[in-house]
Amino acid sequence: MSIPGLGIPGLGHAPAAAASAPAEVGRQTVVHELQANSEWRFEVAFGASIELKLISGTAELFGTELAEKHTYTFRGTKASIFTWHGCRLEVTGYCEEYTAQDTPMIVYANTHFAIDRLRDEAIQTGGEGPRVMVVGPNNAGKTSLVKLLTSYAIKMGRQPMVLNTDLREGMLSIPGSLTATPFASIIDVEQGWGSSPTSGPSPVPVKLPLCYYYGLPNPEDNTTIFKSAMTRLALAAANRLTADPAMKGTGMIIDTAGALSQGKEGYDLISHIVREFSVDVILNLGSERLYSEMTRRFASGTGNTLPVMVVKLDKSGGCVDRDENFMRQTQEAAIREYFFGDLKRTLSPHTQQVSFNEAVVYRIRNPNNVNASFLPGGEEETSAPTTHYEKVEPSGMMLHCILAVMYASLRDTQETIRDASVMGFVYVASVDEKKRVLKILAPLNTRIIDRPMIWGSWPETTVSLI
């Protein structure tokens, strides 16, 4: 899942041989017979695992087809496997599971075909493909739908640009970041969205995301800096589309945070995303109120936007609540994977000593303490406070925190640093205030003292990784 980490891929780490999980005594093996148009839904706890094999028939996980006779391993996940024509699955291990006959997959597939017709029209006219945004409350299945639409687009030979604006999720990055990723190859079944160069050798081609760091847990925590990040992300994604004809005809698929589905402030942020990304299709999942608001705002267009097609889709019955404990474990697992890889692709991160004098760290300031010079585009400060950066000296408060290393130089202005993309992330393993030295863990062995680093409050301080 990791984004490219702080240097040239393949340098500074030595991927170990694929590790295997220790055998569990008494693991049961069960064969499930799935009828056509049915879905097997399962939940695997963190610390546990199951092995799954497609014995016969055809099946897919969020749109990506399973290979017959191949063994897949799942850990700490909640997912579902759908079959159009029926199949037999062999499952080894324990998980919470059931089979559902009533699924919205036909509606979702029809949605894909409708979007693909728009792509055909765009290619024929030399225009840009549809820019699709998925909205809805938390745990409504937005990310699963985005993944399914992406997989189906890839099957059709398309190359969609997929954007993640949900700070709780880490799409090819750690939580707290915003990413734009071009997809031209299949999505990995076990790894979710796939892998990047720091994940080591992979049978699936790696993805190269563009990453921006927000550093706060929710978009509403600082709407000004969130809007600024959205503007930069939209500009970078639009430039990438323009440069690639295949991607231009396919368009974008945008995942959003569930927190935006409630209240005027969230609706205003959705409006900002619609304007910046020139969204022309909104898929609404699981909220009548949100559908009504989106229709009112966008169906007839405004002075700043053209009419937007707003489509209401049913929430899948397989969607389950992910409590805070599950999300915290998911986020910690994503951070560990970024630095250490997984059981199949092990990374060897490097530690280095950095003196307080060499480290250049900017912290996201309290929203109530701002400097007008930090507002995007040189805007004047308004009555609504916002968060900006302040240069800080390293201290014990940084222990176990994640710092974003920016694609900028120490000579750049703070505005340039704010607008820069993320080069990678480092972890503060220890702080010696007497010797004025930081111990930094990085995925690759490269110098970080010639790059500015951003210290945010999200992801939250974690337990020691080493």
Q: Is 33 annotated as a binding residue?
A: no
| Rounded Cα distance, 273 and 271, in Å | 5
Q: Which residue has the tokens 């909640």?
A: 78
The residues, ordered by sequence, that sit 6+ positions from 243 with a Cβ below 8 Å of its Cβ are: none
Q: Is the peptide bond before 459 cis (omega within 30 degrees of 0)?
A: yes
Q: What sign does the dihedral 6-10-16-21 (CA atoms) show?
A: positive
Q: Is 227 annotated as a binding residue?
A: no
Name which of 333, 340, 275 is nearest 305 in CA terms.
275
Name which of 301, 250, 16, 313 is nearest 120 in CA terms.
250
- The maximal CA–CA distance of the chain, rounded, in angstroms, is 67
| Rounded Cα distance, 46 and 30, in Å | 21
Residue 419 backbone dihedrals phi, psi, to 5 degrees: -90, 0
| Rounded Cα distance, 300 and 294, in Å | 10
Q: Under a CB-based contact definition with an 8 Å cutoff, are residues 403 and 361 in contact? A: yes
Q: Under a CB-based contact definition with an 8 Å cutoff, are residues 57 and 83 in contact? A: yes
For the chain, give the number of residues.
Answer: 466
No. of helices (H) and no. of strands (E), the chain? 8, 23
Q: Is 139 annotated as a binding residue?
A: yes
| Rounded Cα distance, 328 and 220, in Å | 20
Q: Is 143 annotated as a binding residue?
A: yes
Q: Under a CB-based contact definition with an 8 Å cutoff, are residues 287 and 136 in contact? A: yes
The string of DSSP letters for 122-166 reads HHHHT-PPPEEEEE-STTSSHHHHHHHHHHHHHHTT---EEEE--
| C-alpha dist (Å) from residue 389 to 94, 277, 446 | 47, 26, 25
Residue 165 backbone dihedrals phi, psi, to 5 degrees: -120, 15
263-277 and 288-298 helices, crossing angle to 10°: 50
Q: Is 39 annotated as a binding residue?
A: yes
Q: Which residues are annotated as a binding site?
A: 39, 78, 139-144
Q: Which residues are annotated as a binding site for ATP?
A: 39, 78, 139-144
